[in-house]
């Protein structure tokens, strides 16, 4: 991270791209206040400079004296700022041209454009937050649901760091005793009996296990669960997709084979993120109706992709035309699906129903729900039923449940593995200095989690994924 380690002053647009009511320019570094004051003209005649932690109203002007925008300006001196350095923030109107003009003026006066994640990196470097908390910032921004936001905010508060810190302190105490045993092997006092070393290593390993368990439990709430819309052509899958997402996302046509690839959208089912995929309709390679066009290579590939999605999805919404009898192809497809993760959706409920369809589906051991993508009838029932099934295997996170991300889970798993190996090796008669290697590795893994030890490649991988203004 040498490219982020200089003491220069950086600036960037800190709000999302595109027009908005308000846009923020953030400046951090030793010249933050001077640069902001060079552009700022207060609306108050008694203005003497930007006072800390106050909002000042005025305008920004360029080097020629032309007004760039009417703004609010704030100054936060270090270390009492997000980055731990002097920080100025300019609250402008949110037009892209306005923000770009202000940023260009700051860069022309000596600021440097911030790199992705550089503000957060400076906060980490200056001890305002640790690495796990820095990652939680990105997770907070990317959180797709309320439950995912809760998980991110809990880590941002330092809950994961505190838990790991407590366990690491126990290991460091164990290291100190182990070092004493290594340095004074001939002393009459047995400073660390092997059974005590084994028991403490196992106790910490056991305390790490719930953190790893939280990773998989939180996956559905943080990353989403996959549900696929499948069924024969013209059953109304694309219409149902559009009805569920509330807009015309999928092309709808009476011609079979209109959907030839898959379309994915995200839905928030009361906090559970659903990744809903509309797929190519299934039909036989040879036409079964006079005048129907045979499938081509592209449609055949789309149908194969549909079957792949059906195999790996957590939920299959198999869409049937409620006004028609159960087709033999549908019956064959439904027999090959797991009833525990399959819902038969009887679409076109606004049409006169086939009298035997629901019974035929029930005979296959499948639950079904009747809906109308055209009128919206039954959609709430479908969503509630789907959420209940999906959330059954992914209970909602507890208020204090911590869910590490993939990098953090890898570090925890490594530390736990070293401790379990250490506990086993205490019974092999190995000398203390050999056993200490396992303990050192476990401590190092936990230190890398919080960033107390952090190789440059790890820091680069983390902060390079941040947006430029964060």
Q: Looking at the domain covering 138-219+405-451, what would its CATH class be?
A: mainly alpha
The predicted-structure confidence for 81-135, as pLDDT tens digits, reads as follows: 999 999 999 999 999 999 999 999 999 999 999 999 999 999 999 999 999 999 9
**108 CA to centre of own chain:** 36
pLDDT digits (tens, 9 = 90+) for 122-172: 999 999 999 999 999 988 988 887 778 888 899 999 999 999 999 999 999
Residue ranges covered by each domain of the chain: 2-129, 138-219+405-451, 225-392
DSSP 388-409: HHHHHTSPPPPTT-----HHHH
* pLDDT at res. 255: 43
pTM: 0.74
Q: Where are the alpha helices (DSSP H) in 272-378?
A: 297-312, 328-335, 357-363
Residue 302 pLDDT class (50, 70, 90 cuts) = low
What pLDDT score does 125 carry? 93
The counts of H helices and E strands in the chain are: 15, 13
- pLDDT for the residue 9: 97
Binned at pLDDT 50, 70 and 90, residue 190 comes out as low
Looking at the chain, the whole-number percentage of residues with pLDDT higher than 70 is 86
**Whole-Å CA distances, 439 to 150, 169, 392:** 33, 12, 39
Query: Beta strand 367-370 with 315-321: parallel, antiparallel or unpaired?
Result: unpaired
Homologous superfamily of 2-129 = Probable tRNA modification gtpase trme; domain 1 (3.30.1360.120)
Predicted confidence (pLDDT) at residue 77 exceeds the cutoff of 90: yes
Q: Residues with Cβ < 8 Å from 96, sequence gap 6 or more?
A: 17, 18, 19
Q: Which of 133, 190, 191, 202 is nearest to 164 (CA)?
A: 133
In this structure, which CATH number among 3.40.50.300, 3.30.420.10, 3.40.190.290, 2.60.40.10 belongs to the domain 225-392? Answer: 3.40.50.300
Residue 233 has pLDDT above 50, yes or no: yes
8 A C-beta contact, residue 96 and residue 104:
no
């Amino acid at each position: 991270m040498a490219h982020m380690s200089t003491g220069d002053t950086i600036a960037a647009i800190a709000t999302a791209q595109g027009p908005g009511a308000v846009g923020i320019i953030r400046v951090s570094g030793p010249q933050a206040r001077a640069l902001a004051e060079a552009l700022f003209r207060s609306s108050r005649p008694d203005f003497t400079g930007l006072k800390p932690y106050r909002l000042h109203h005025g305008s920004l002007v360029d080097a020629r004296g032309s007004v760039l925008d009417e703004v609010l300006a704030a100054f936060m001196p270090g270390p009492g700022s997000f980055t731990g350095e002097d920080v100025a923030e300019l609250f402008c109107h949110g037009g892209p041209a306005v923000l770009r003009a202000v940023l260009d003026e700051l860069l022309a006066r000596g600021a440097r454009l911030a790199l992705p994640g550089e503000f957060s990196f400076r906060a980490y470097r200056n001890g305002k937050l640790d690495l796990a908390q820095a990652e939680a910032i990105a997770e907070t921004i990317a959180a797709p649901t309320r439950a995912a936001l809760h998980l991110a905010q809990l880590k941002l508060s330092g809950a994961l760091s505190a838990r790991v810190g407590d366990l690491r302190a126990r290991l460091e105490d164990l290291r100190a005793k182990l070092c004493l045993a290594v340095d004074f092997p001939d002393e009459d006092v047995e400073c660390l009996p092997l059974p005590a070393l084994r028991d403490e290593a196992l106790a910490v390993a056991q305390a790490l296990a719930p953190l790893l368990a939280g990773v998989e439990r939180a996956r559905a709430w943080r990353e989403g669960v996959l549900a696929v819309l499948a069924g024969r052509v013209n059953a109304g899958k694309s219409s149902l997709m559009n009805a569920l997402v509330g807009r015309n996302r999928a092309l709808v046509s009476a011609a079979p084979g209109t959907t030839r690839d898959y379309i994915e959208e995200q839905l928030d089912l009361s906090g559970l993120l659903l990744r809903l995929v509309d797929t190519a309709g299934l039909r036989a390679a040879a036409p079964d109706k006079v005048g129907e066009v045979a499938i081509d290579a592209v449609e055949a590939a789309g149908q194969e992709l549909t079957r792949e999605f059906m195999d790996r999805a957590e939920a299959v919404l198999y869409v049937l035309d409620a006004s028609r009898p159960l087709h033999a192809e549908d019956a064959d497809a439904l027999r090959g699906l797991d009833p525990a993760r399959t819902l038969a959706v009887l679409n076109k409920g606004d049409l006169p129903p086939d009298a035997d369809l629901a019974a035929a589906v029930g005979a296959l051991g499948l639950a079904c729900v009747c809906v109308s993508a055209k009128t919206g009838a039954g959609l709430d029932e479908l969503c509630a039923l789907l959420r209940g099934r999906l959330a059954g295997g992914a209970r909602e996170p507890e208020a204090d449940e911590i869910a590490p991300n993939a990098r953090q889970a890898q570090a925890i798993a490594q530390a736990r593995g070293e401790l379990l190996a250490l506990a086993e090796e205490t019974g092999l008669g190995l000398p203390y200095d050999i056993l200490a290697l396992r303990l050192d590795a476990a401590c190092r893994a936990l230190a890398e989690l919080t960033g107390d030890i952090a190789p440059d490649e790890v820091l680069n991988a983390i902060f390079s994924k941040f947006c430029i203004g964060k």
